[in-house]
């Protein structure tokens, strides 16, 4: 079974540019999550999709961040325009729908550097 | 607010036993997870505790005391490959899917 995949693995952009991160969850997982780890800080929750619907987006930093999951399969996280403080590792995770295990399966992350 | 504390670093010797503690203060605790993360890789699930007591899974065990806001991860028969970061995370009432993380404990296993 393929795991959670993320693309790209690394991205270096300049302040003010736009970046789109992609996450492909494990097939059949209706729950999809985005997290971010800024250097020296703990991993922080950004948002949670159930299928194509945003269940909880309480962790999204501001309106420069837009997450989508059209069709309830893969998800994208767009940062526009990027700021220096957006640098960090963005993790995606997926899990089964309610009734299954609460275990979240993580992707390897996208390391974003904003210069 | 939510607060989760773990030691920053620990060292241990191959073959030994190590205990990594995690304390939490949260509003409406639901359950506690332990994840392992090797440098540059994805966090991988180790254990989930929702009730008080010890959960054993091979060389790894996890304990939870809800009344004390305390958990520990016990690693036995340490191997070099156990050198990694160990992350404690909790979920709270209202959204049992949203993980709230500690900073993680970096464990170095020496020969």
pLDDT by residue for chain A (115 residues), tens only, comes to: 689 999 999 999 999 999 999 999 999 999 999 999 999 999 999 999 999 999 999 999 999 999 999 888 999 999 999 999 999 999 999 998 765 568 899 999 999 999 9
Beta-carbon separation of B44 and A103 below 8 A: no
pLDDT in tens, B29-66: 899 999 999 998 999 999 999 999 999 999 999 999 99
Name which of B35, B41, B98 is nearest A56 (Cβ-Cβ).
Answer: B98
State the pLDDT at residue B4.
96
Which chain A residues touch B48 with a CB distance below 8 Å? Answer: 101-103
Is B74 touching A (CB cutoff 8 A)?
Answer: no
C-beta separation of A61 from A9 below 8 A:
no
To test the contact with chain B by mutation, choose from A45, A58, A98 the residue with the greatest count of B C-beta atoms within 10 A, namely: A45
Beta-carbon separation of A42 and B104 below 8 A: yes
State the pLDDT at residue B95.
73
Beta-carbon separation of A48 and B48 below 8 A: no
Is B91 touching A (CB cutoff 8 A)?
Answer: yes
Is A45 touching B (CB cutoff 8 A)?
Answer: yes
Nearest Cα residue in chain A from B105: A42
C-beta separation of A115 from A13 below 8 A:
yes
Q: Which residue has the higher pLDDT, A61 or B93?
A: A61
Peptide bond preceding A8: is omega within 30 degrees of 0, i.e. cis?
Answer: yes
C-beta separation of A80 from A95 below 8 A:
no
Alpha-carbon gap: A81 to the closest alpha carbon of chain B (Å):
26
B78-81's contacts with Cβ under 8 Å and 24+ in sequence apart are B78/B12, B78/B13, B78/B14, B78/B15, B78/B16, B78/B17, B78/B18, B78/B109, B79/B14, B79/B109, B80/B14, B80/B109, B80/B111
């Amino acid at each position: 079974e393929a795991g959670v995949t993320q693309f790209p693995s690394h991205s270096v952009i300049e302040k003010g540019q736009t970046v789109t991160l992609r996450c492909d969850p494990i097939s059949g997982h209706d729950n999809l999550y985005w997290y971010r780890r800024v250097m020296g800080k703990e991993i922080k929750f950004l948002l949670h999709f159930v299928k194509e619907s945003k269940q909880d987006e309480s962790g999204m930093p501001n309106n420069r961040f837009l997450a989508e999951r059209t069709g309830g399969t893969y998800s994208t996280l767009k940062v526009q325009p990027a700021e220096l403080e957006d640098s960090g590792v963005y993790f995606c995770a997926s899990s089964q729908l309610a009734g299954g295990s609460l275990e979240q399966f993580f992707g390897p992350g996208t390391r974003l550097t904003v210069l | 607010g939510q607060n989760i504390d773990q030691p920053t670093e620990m060292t241990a010797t191959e073959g030994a036993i190590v205990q990594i503690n995690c304390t939490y203060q949260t509003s409406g605790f639901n359950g506690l997870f332990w994840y392992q993360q090797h440098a540059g890789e994805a966090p991988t699930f180790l254990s989930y505790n929702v009730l008080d007591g010890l959960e054993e899974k091979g060389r790894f065990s996890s304990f939870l005391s809800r009344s004390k806001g305390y958990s520990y991860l016990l690693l036995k028969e340490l191997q070099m490959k156990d050198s990694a970061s160990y992350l404690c995370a909790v979920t709270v009432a209202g959204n049992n899917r949203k993980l709230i993380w500690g900073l993680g404990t970096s464990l170095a296993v020496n020969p």
